[in-house]
Structure 1
Amino acid sequence: MAHAHKPILAPVGDEVELTGPWADALRRFSAHLALERHDSPHTVRAYLSDLHEFALFACRCGIGSPQGVTLAGLRRWLGEQQASGAATATIARRAGAARVFFRWSTRESITASDPAQTLRSPKIGRRLPETLTQEDARELLDAATAKAAESEGPLGVRDVAILEVLYGSGIRVSELCGLDLGDVDEQRGLLRVLGKGDKQRSVPLGQPGLRALARWRSVRPQLCAPASGMAVFLGARGSRIDPRVVRRVVHESLRGVPQAPDVGPHGLRHAMATHLLEGGADLRSVQEMLGHASLATTQIYTHVSDERLRAAYRQAHPRA
């Protein structure tokens, strides 16, 4: 493959660091993802991790800049991963990262043409997400409420509110952590959340969630510190709560419901959507509540409900 630059690899301890054209291009792409596309830090890290791996592969092949990459080179990269046993989903994700990067690099004139334009991803089967039953969710919240009543201090009250808001509204962990006091409309039972792509939406929250939030807000001053600002949820030291703390709260609480899968915070979002559809909500309304850009993303929850219906039929009907 032709290339315009000598590949540059600099050792850093036991790792290899990119320098030169590849490093410059990935730095600019990182800024594009964060500042123009408003992707989350997690998404930016995932793109850069995959593209860093490809850039190292390209340099080993003597391609010192994005300009020298061809479709054949990209296919060889994905083929080597497949041969080494990488999961189909991983290969599909990396192919997607390459398409996004080279579409951008062509637009920015870093590359003269887009070598990934016709790069195909391997097809992956859509796996139904594990989710909680309505009884599991009830047990989870009852157990957390009982634990908070037995403990001293505000953290137990906060944890109940976290669980009630995640399950009651279906918002993402990042959206929960970003809530400010002014985002809670108790009168109308709404939360104003800032979702992916800095898109704002209003999400309903039921009475149990509003009551849990009110109890938490009554004890919130016990944790307040100069760093608290207007954050609804606070960590033990008074600053805005970290997503890792929220995940730990959910995982620890789920351990108190032995029959429930350990689905984590996103599993509460799955459960909320599934239970809404089981209760007769229409798909468009659920899409709006979840903040999905595409209805196809929301439709996975209809498959969950259908599978539950078939499982109940197989278990209960004598002619199943």
Structure 2
Amino acid sequence: MNAEPLDGQVRGFLDHLTVERGAAANTLLSYRRDLSRYQEYLADRDVRDLAAVSEAHVSGFLVALREGAGGHPPLAASSAARTLVAVRGLHRFAAAEGMTPADVAREVRPPTPGRRLPKALPVDQVVAILEAAGGGSDGAGEAAASDTPARLRDRCLLEVLYSCGARISEVTALDVDDVDREGRAVLLRGKGGKERIVPIGRPAIAALDAYLVRGRPGLVRRSEPALFLNVRGGRLSRQSAWQVLATAAERAGIATSVSPHTLRHSFATHLLDGGADVRVVQELLGHSSVATTQIYTLVTAQSLREVYAQAHPRALR
């Protein structure tokens, strides 16, 4: 009995990915799994050849992915979009090889993933993290001195991150000369080499003064312009800075996952909660478009709805 045309067409596409495109084993496994589900969908509709597939079939398959069909659970938008990539690749290949008269999947667009709101910490949790960076336990159950060079650096690092709303890469790239302590401003170099000057608060300035006077001299080993130094006297890496925050969050007893971007998100959210204009926050964050910053207004609106739902006697519960 001859194999159905669709089986051979899918095998031909996978062979093309292997030989012509040099696709990785994991990629091939993913494509094979996604296309097997597509074949199952088409077979249920008595479609055995790509030449018989219409755009409506491809669109219907996408709907089935999102809603769940054939005993499969519904897929999230991102997973459905990944599966559609395999299907579109198959039809593009079939059209190019003359197996089908046209690429019927070309106009079928993947679903747009839901917009994830940034995670922001309450002010009291941010303060707890900042304070934990300069003191607390050393991990062995003994109190650690808050004025060691490393602890002074760690407190200063996190204070600057939150005070300026900076990216972790921007802070680890700082040189000593980038900080104007008298003018209370910091020069940050963002994405694409764009520079911006942002103000810095008094607590961060105090942490900077303490670190530059009593901390950094104990870390420096050679002529090094970097503001934040590691124990070998070189520039602190992003990975090490990330660990500083993770350790401080653990000491502060913060149960949720905290990353350097969490402090950046918290910075923006707290400014908007305090009445700052979204375009001012845009400039401080270094966003090229205000649309990127406006996602934080969704965060504050969501917070207002939660407070309303909990506190208003006539709220819908």
SS of residue paired to 1:237: coil
Deviation, 1:90, is 6.3
What is the CA-CA distance between 1:118 and the residue it aligns to? Answer: 6.1
Q: 1:179 aligns with which of 174, 177, 185?
A: 174
Q: 1:200-253, CA deviations, whole angstroms, 9 ceiling, x for partnerless residues? A: 111111111111112111221211123x62111111211111111111111111
Matching residue of 2:193 = 198
Q: Hey, what does 1:16 align to over in structure 2?
A: none
- Which residue in 2 is equivalent to 1:212? 207
User: Are the equivalent residues in 1 in contact too, given 2:224–2:233 (CA < 8 A)?
Assistant: no
Mapped to 2, the partners of 1:85 and 1:236 lie a distance apart of 50
Aligned to 2:198, the other structure's residue is in SS state: strand
- Provide the residue aligned with 1:26 in structure 2: none
Matched, 1:232 2:233: no
Once the two structures are superposed, residues 259-309 of structure 1 have per-residue CA deviations (whole angstroms, 9 ceiling, x without a partner) of: 552221110000000000001100001011111122121111111111111
**CA RMSD of superposed structures (Å):** 3.9
1:170 to 165, 182, 191: 165
Q: Looking at CA atoms only, which structure, 1 or 2, has the larger radius of gyration? A: 2
Cα drift, residue 56 of structure 1? 6.0
Q: Structure 1 residue 222 and structure 2 residue 218: aligned?
A: yes
Secondary structure of 2:231's counterpart equals coil
Change (3 A) 1:317 1:84: closer
Tell me how far 1:130 sits from its aligned partner. 2.2
Note the C-alpha offset of 1:87: 5.4
Q: Distance in 2 between matches of 1:95 and 1:213?
A: 51
SS at match of 1:255: helix
In the aligned structure 1, how far is the partner of 2:84 from the partner of 2:227? 39
SS in 2 for 1:261: coil
Closer/same/farther in 2, CA of residues 289 and 117 from structure 1, 3 Å limit: farther
1:130 aligns with 2:119: yes
Q: 1:143 and 2:132 equivalent?
A: yes
List per-residue Cα deviations over 1:141-165 (Å, max 9, x = no partner).
2233343972463100101011101
- 2-structure distance, mates of 1:139, 1:128: 23
**2:299 corresponds to:** 304
State the shift of 1:197 in Å: 1.2
Pick one of 239, 247, 264 that aligns with 1:244. Answer: 239
Alpha-carbon separation, structure 1, partners of 2:269 and 2:128: 17
Percent of matched pairs sharing the same residue: 40
Per-residue deviation, 1:53:
5.5
4+ residue stretches of structure 1 with deviation over 4 A? 6-9, 52-57, 81-87, 90-96, 116-119
Q: Paired residues, what number? A: 250
C-alpha spacing 1:120/1:85, structure 2 compared with 1 (3 Å):
same
Structure 2 CA distance, aligned partners of 1:314 and 1:136?
23
Aligned match of 1:13? none
Query: 2:256 is matched with which residue?
Result: 261
Q: Give unmatched runs, 5+ long, in structure 2.
A: 1-8, 33-53, 67-71, 86-104, 138-143
Letter in structure 2 aligned against 1:221: P
State the Cα deviation string for residues 47-73 of structure 1 (Å, max 9, x = none). xxxxx659965xx99xxxxxxxxxx9x
In the superposition, the TM-score normalised over structure 2's length comes to: 0.66
Aligned counterpart, 2:89: none
Letter of the aligned partner of 1:136 in structure 2? Q
